[in-house]
Structure 1
Amino acid sequence: MARHLYRCPLRWADMDVYGIVNNVMYLRLLEEARVDFVFRMAPTEGDAFFRDGSVVVRHEIDYKDRLTHRHEPVDIEMWVSDLQTATVTVSYEVRDGDRLCARASTVMAPFDYRKNRPRRLTDAEIGFFEKYLETS
Protein backbone atom coordinates (compact mmCIF):
# COMPACT_ATOMS: atom_id res chain seq x y z
CA MET A 1 0.00 0.00 0.00
CA ALA A 2 1.01 3.60 -0.55
CA ARG A 3 2.05 6.15 2.04
CA HIS A 4 1.94 9.91 1.71
CA LEU A 5 5.00 11.99 2.64
CA TYR A 6 4.63 15.64 3.58
CA ARG A 7 7.72 17.81 4.05
CA CYS A 8 6.54 20.14 6.80
CA PRO A 9 8.35 23.40 7.49
CA LEU A 10 8.83 24.37 11.12
CA ARG A 11 8.04 27.92 12.16
CA TRP A 12 9.64 29.84 14.99
CA ALA A 13 6.20 30.09 16.58
CA ASP A 14 6.10 26.26 16.84
CA MET A 15 8.82 26.34 19.51
CA ASP A 16 8.54 26.70 23.24
CA VAL A 17 11.02 28.59 25.43
CA TYR A 18 13.39 25.60 25.33
CA GLY A 19 13.62 25.63 21.52
CA ILE A 20 11.65 22.42 21.00
CA VAL A 21 8.36 21.98 19.18
CA ASN A 22 5.58 22.54 21.71
CA ASN A 23 3.28 19.56 22.19
CA VAL A 24 0.21 21.58 21.18
CA MET A 25 1.87 22.63 17.92
CA TYR A 26 2.12 19.00 16.84
CA LEU A 27 -1.63 19.09 16.17
CA ARG A 28 -1.13 22.01 13.81
CA LEU A 29 1.72 20.24 11.99
CA LEU A 30 -0.38 17.07 11.68
CA GLU A 31 -3.33 19.09 10.39
CA GLU A 32 -1.17 20.72 7.74
CA ALA A 33 0.09 17.31 6.62
CA ARG A 34 -3.42 15.78 6.68
CA VAL A 35 -4.86 18.58 4.55
CA ASP A 36 -2.06 18.07 2.01
CA PHE A 37 -2.81 14.34 2.00
CA VAL A 38 -6.59 14.58 1.63
CA PHE A 39 -6.45 17.30 -1.04
CA ARG A 40 -4.93 14.66 -3.32
CA MET A 41 -8.37 13.02 -3.39
CA ALA A 42 -9.68 15.33 -6.13
CA PRO A 43 -7.13 18.11 -6.71
CA THR A 44 -8.91 19.70 -9.68
CA GLU A 45 -12.34 19.99 -8.11
CA GLY A 46 -11.49 20.37 -4.43
CA ASP A 47 -11.81 17.20 -2.47
CA ALA A 48 -15.11 15.67 -1.49
CA PHE A 49 -14.06 14.82 2.05
CA PHE A 50 -13.49 18.46 3.01
CA ARG A 51 -15.97 20.00 0.57
CA ASP A 52 -18.83 17.77 1.69
CA GLY A 53 -17.76 18.08 5.32
CA SER A 54 -15.72 16.19 7.85
CA VAL A 55 -14.90 16.46 11.53
CA VAL A 56 -12.05 15.30 13.73
CA VAL A 57 -13.30 12.79 16.26
CA ARG A 58 -10.06 11.98 18.06
CA HIS A 59 -6.30 12.70 18.16
CA GLU A 60 -3.66 10.54 19.78
CA ILE A 61 0.05 11.45 19.95
CA ASP A 62 2.98 9.52 21.40
CA TYR A 63 6.03 11.75 21.74
CA LYS A 64 9.20 9.72 21.14
CA ASP A 65 12.02 12.30 20.94
CA ARG A 66 12.54 16.07 20.99
CA LEU A 67 11.97 17.97 17.79
CA THR A 68 14.06 21.13 17.77
CA HIS A 69 13.93 24.15 15.51
CA ARG A 70 15.58 23.67 12.14
CA HIS A 71 15.44 25.35 8.76
CA GLU A 72 14.84 22.14 6.82
CA PRO A 73 11.35 20.63 6.78
CA VAL A 74 10.56 17.59 8.88
CA ASP A 75 9.06 14.48 7.31
CA ILE A 76 5.53 13.50 8.21
CA GLU A 77 4.59 10.15 6.71
CA MET A 78 0.89 9.21 6.64
CA TRP A 79 -1.25 6.20 5.88
CA VAL A 80 -4.74 4.95 6.67
CA SER A 81 -4.72 2.49 9.56
CA ASP A 82 -8.48 1.94 9.82
CA LEU A 83 -11.36 2.47 7.42
CA GLN A 84 -14.99 2.05 8.41
CA THR A 85 -18.21 3.10 6.70
CA ALA A 86 -18.34 6.34 8.68
CA THR A 87 -14.77 6.93 9.95
CA VAL A 88 -11.21 6.96 8.68
CA THR A 89 -8.10 6.81 10.87
CA VAL A 90 -4.99 8.50 9.54
CA SER A 91 -1.72 7.44 11.19
CA TYR A 92 1.49 9.45 11.15
CA GLU A 93 5.18 9.24 11.90
CA VAL A 94 7.04 12.52 12.42
CA ARG A 95 10.75 12.19 11.68
CA ASP A 96 13.78 14.42 11.93
CA GLY A 97 16.07 12.55 9.57
CA ASP A 98 16.36 9.02 10.96
CA ARG A 99 15.01 10.00 14.39
CA LEU A 100 11.38 9.16 15.15
CA CYS A 101 9.99 12.15 17.05
CA ALA A 102 6.32 11.20 17.28
CA ARG A 103 3.70 8.67 16.29
CA ALA A 104 0.15 9.89 16.04
CA SER A 105 -3.30 9.13 14.70
CA THR A 106 -6.42 11.10 13.88
CA VAL A 107 -9.91 9.65 13.57
CA MET A 108 -12.09 11.64 11.19
CA ALA A 109 -15.72 11.28 10.26
CA PRO A 110 -17.59 12.65 7.27
CA PHE A 111 -20.19 15.21 8.31
CA ASP A 112 -23.07 16.89 6.49
CA TYR A 113 -23.02 20.50 7.70
CA ARG A 114 -26.22 21.42 5.86
CA LYS A 115 -28.16 18.72 7.71
CA ASN A 116 -25.97 19.03 10.83
CA ARG A 117 -25.41 15.30 11.15
CA PRO A 118 -22.84 12.60 10.40
CA ARG A 119 -22.87 10.92 7.00
CA ARG A 120 -21.33 7.80 5.45
CA LEU A 121 -18.16 7.85 3.39
CA THR A 122 -18.89 8.01 -0.32
CA ASP A 123 -17.62 5.31 -2.70
CA ALA A 124 -15.06 7.82 -4.07
CA GLU A 125 -13.80 8.61 -0.56
CA ILE A 126 -13.50 4.92 0.31
CA GLY A 127 -11.68 4.29 -2.97
CA PHE A 128 -9.16 7.04 -2.22
CA PHE A 129 -8.50 5.97 1.37
CA GLU A 130 -8.22 2.27 0.43
CA LYS A 131 -5.11 3.09 -1.64
CA TYR A 132 -3.37 4.10 1.61
CA LEU A 133 -4.82 1.42 3.90
CA GLU A 134 -2.31 -0.53 5.97
CA THR A 135 -3.63 -2.82 8.65
CA SER A 136 -1.40 -4.43 11.25
Structure 2
Amino acid sequence: MRWSDLDAFGHVNNARFLTLYEEARVALMFDAAREAGVTSLEQGVVIYRHEVDYLRPVGYGRPVRIDMWLEEIRPSRFVVAYELFDGEVVASRARSVCVPFDLAAGRPRRLSDAEREFLKPWLGPA
Protein backbone atom coordinates (compact mmCIF):
# COMPACT_ATOMS: atom_id res chain seq x y z
CA MET A 1 0.00 0.00 0.00
CA ARG A 2 1.17 3.50 -0.77
CA TRP A 3 0.64 6.52 1.46
CA SER A 4 -1.37 8.14 -1.37
CA ASP A 5 -3.82 5.19 -1.27
CA LEU A 6 -5.24 6.31 2.09
CA ASP A 7 -8.41 8.26 2.73
CA ALA A 8 -9.01 10.88 5.45
CA PHE A 9 -9.63 8.10 7.99
CA GLY A 10 -6.27 6.38 7.45
CA HIS A 11 -7.76 3.45 5.51
CA VAL A 12 -7.18 2.44 1.93
CA ASN A 13 -9.58 4.49 -0.20
CA ASN A 14 -12.40 2.47 -1.75
CA ALA A 15 -11.41 3.50 -5.30
CA ARG A 16 -7.92 2.07 -4.74
CA PHE A 17 -9.40 -1.40 -4.30
CA LEU A 18 -10.42 -1.25 -7.97
CA THR A 19 -6.86 -0.28 -8.89
CA LEU A 20 -5.50 -3.31 -7.01
CA TYR A 21 -8.02 -5.58 -8.73
CA GLU A 22 -7.07 -4.02 -12.07
CA GLU A 23 -3.38 -4.77 -11.50
CA ALA A 24 -4.20 -8.44 -10.84
CA ARG A 25 -6.48 -8.65 -13.90
CA VAL A 26 -3.89 -6.98 -16.16
CA ALA A 27 -1.23 -9.43 -14.98
CA LEU A 28 -3.49 -12.23 -16.19
CA MET A 29 -4.51 -10.70 -19.53
CA PHE A 30 -1.10 -9.28 -20.43
CA ASP A 31 1.67 -11.19 -18.66
CA ALA A 32 0.22 -14.69 -18.23
CA ALA A 33 -1.56 -14.61 -21.60
CA ARG A 34 1.60 -13.45 -23.37
CA GLU A 35 3.60 -16.25 -21.73
CA ALA A 36 0.98 -18.67 -23.09
CA GLY A 37 1.34 -17.18 -26.58
CA VAL A 38 -1.96 -15.26 -26.50
CA THR A 39 -1.47 -11.55 -27.21
CA SER A 40 -4.92 -10.63 -28.53
CA LEU A 41 -6.32 -9.74 -25.08
CA GLU A 42 -3.77 -6.92 -24.96
CA GLN A 43 -5.43 -5.40 -28.01
CA GLY A 44 -8.67 -4.59 -26.25
CA VAL A 45 -10.78 -5.64 -23.29
CA VAL A 46 -13.19 -3.23 -21.63
CA ILE A 47 -15.00 -3.41 -18.31
CA TYR A 48 -18.75 -3.70 -18.63
CA ARG A 49 -19.43 -3.86 -14.88
CA HIS A 50 -17.68 -3.90 -11.49
CA GLU A 51 -19.21 -5.13 -8.24
CA VAL A 52 -17.27 -4.59 -5.01
CA ASP A 53 -18.11 -5.61 -1.45
CA TYR A 54 -16.02 -3.85 1.19
CA LEU A 55 -15.94 -6.16 4.19
CA ARG A 56 -13.42 -4.36 6.42
CA PRO A 57 -11.04 -1.41 6.26
CA VAL A 58 -7.42 -1.96 5.25
CA GLY A 59 -4.78 0.23 6.86
CA TYR A 60 -1.44 1.52 5.65
CA GLY A 61 1.57 -0.74 5.82
CA ARG A 62 -0.23 -4.05 5.93
CA PRO A 63 0.50 -6.59 3.20
CA VAL A 64 -2.44 -7.48 0.97
CA ARG A 65 -2.95 -10.41 -1.36
CA ILE A 66 -5.47 -10.89 -4.16
CA ASP A 67 -6.82 -14.29 -5.13
CA MET A 68 -8.42 -14.24 -8.56
CA TRP A 69 -10.33 -16.70 -10.74
CA LEU A 70 -12.94 -16.69 -13.52
CA GLU A 71 -16.56 -17.34 -12.64
CA GLU A 72 -17.82 -17.57 -16.19
CA ILE A 73 -16.66 -17.58 -19.81
CA ARG A 74 -19.23 -16.74 -22.49
CA PRO A 75 -18.73 -16.14 -26.22
CA SER A 76 -18.39 -12.38 -25.83
CA ARG A 77 -17.51 -11.83 -22.17
CA PHE A 78 -15.90 -13.33 -19.10
CA VAL A 79 -16.35 -12.64 -15.40
CA VAL A 80 -13.33 -12.22 -13.13
CA ALA A 81 -13.84 -12.77 -9.39
CA TYR A 82 -11.44 -11.59 -6.68
CA GLU A 83 -10.84 -11.69 -2.96
CA LEU A 84 -8.51 -9.17 -1.35
CA PHE A 85 -6.87 -10.40 1.84
CA ASP A 86 -5.56 -8.17 4.61
CA GLY A 87 -3.12 -10.63 6.15
CA GLU A 88 -5.23 -13.79 6.33
CA VAL A 89 -8.63 -12.07 6.51
CA VAL A 90 -10.82 -11.32 3.49
CA ALA A 91 -11.24 -7.54 3.36
CA SER A 92 -13.07 -7.27 0.04
CA ARG A 93 -14.71 -9.37 -2.67
CA ALA A 94 -15.31 -8.18 -6.21
CA ARG A 95 -16.37 -9.19 -9.72
CA SER A 96 -15.60 -7.60 -13.09
CA VAL A 97 -17.46 -8.36 -16.29
CA CYS A 98 -14.87 -8.08 -19.08
CA VAL A 99 -15.76 -7.72 -22.75
CA PRO A 100 -13.25 -8.29 -25.57
CA PHE A 101 -13.25 -5.15 -27.67
CA ASP A 102 -12.09 -4.31 -31.18
CA LEU A 103 -10.57 -0.86 -30.64
CA ALA A 104 -10.16 -0.15 -34.36
CA ALA A 105 -13.81 -0.93 -35.12
CA GLY A 106 -15.04 0.57 -31.83
CA ARG A 107 -17.22 -2.39 -30.92
CA PRO A 108 -17.30 -5.54 -28.79
CA ARG A 109 -16.06 -8.79 -30.30
CA ARG A 110 -16.22 -12.49 -29.48
CA LEU A 111 -13.47 -14.35 -27.67
CA SER A 112 -11.21 -16.28 -30.01
CA ASP A 113 -10.70 -20.02 -29.57
CA ALA A 114 -7.15 -19.35 -28.34
CA GLU A 115 -8.41 -16.85 -25.76
CA ARG A 116 -11.06 -19.27 -24.49
CA GLU A 117 -8.49 -22.05 -24.18
CA PHE A 118 -6.16 -19.74 -22.26
CA LEU A 119 -8.93 -18.63 -19.89
CA LYS A 120 -10.46 -22.08 -19.17
CA PRO A 121 -7.86 -23.16 -16.56
CA TRP A 122 -8.72 -20.04 -14.55
CA LEU A 123 -12.34 -21.14 -14.09
CA GLY A 124 -12.99 -21.54 -10.40
CA PRO A 125 -15.85 -22.79 -8.29
CA ALA A 126 -19.26 -21.32 -9.04
The question of a shared fold, defined as TM-score above 0.5 by the shorter chain, is answered with: yes
Q: Provide the rounded CA distance (Å) in 2 between the counterparts of 1:30 and 1:75.
A: 10
- Give 1:98's match in structure 2, choosing from 88, 95, 103: 88
Normalised TM-score (structure 2) = 0.92
2:38·2:114 contact (CA, 8 Å) conserved in 1? no
Structure whose residues are more often helix by fraction: 2
Q: How many residues align?
A: 125
- Give 1:49's match in structure 2, choosing from 24, 37, 41: 41
Secondary structure, in 3 states, of the residue corresponding to 1:114?
coil
Q: Provide the rounded CA distance (Å) in 1 between the counterparts of 2:117 and 2:55.
A: 32
1:82·1:135 contact (CA, 8 Å) conserved in 2? no
Q: Provide the rounded CA distance (Å) in 1 between the counterparts of 2:25 and 2:2.
A: 18
Task: State percent identity of aligned pairs.
Answer: 39
* Aligned structure 1 segments of 4 or more residues deviating by more than 3 angstroms: 43-46
Secondary structure, in 3 states, of the residue corresponding to 1:88?
strand
In the alignment, is residue 16 of structure 1 matched against residue 7 of structure 2? yes
Q: Provide the rounded CA distance (Å) in 1 between the counterparts of 2:72 and 2:36.
A: 26
Q: Which runs of 5+ in 2 are unaligned?
A: none
1:65·1:99 contact (CA, 8 Å) conserved in 2? no
Which one-letter code corresponds to 2:21 in the other structure?
A: L
Over the aligned positions, Cα root-mean-square deviation in angstroms equals 1.6
Secondary structure, in 3 states, of the residue corresponding to 1:41?
helix
Secondary structure, in 3 states, of the residue corresponding to 2:122?
coil
Q: Provide the rounded CA distance (Å) in 1 between the counterparts of 2:2 and 2:39.
A: 27
More deviation in 22-31 or 40-49? Answer: 40-49
Q: Which residue of 1 aligns with 2:119?
A: 129
Secondary structure, in 3 states, of the residue corresponding to 1:42?
helix
Q: 1:91 to 1:44 in 2, by over 3 A?
A: closer
Q: How does 1:1-136 map to 2 (within 5 A)?
A: 10-39=1-30, 40-43=32-35, 47-51=39-43, 53-70=44-61, 73-136=63-126
Q: Provide the rounded CA distance (Å) in 2 between the counterparts of 1:119 and 1:83.
A: 14
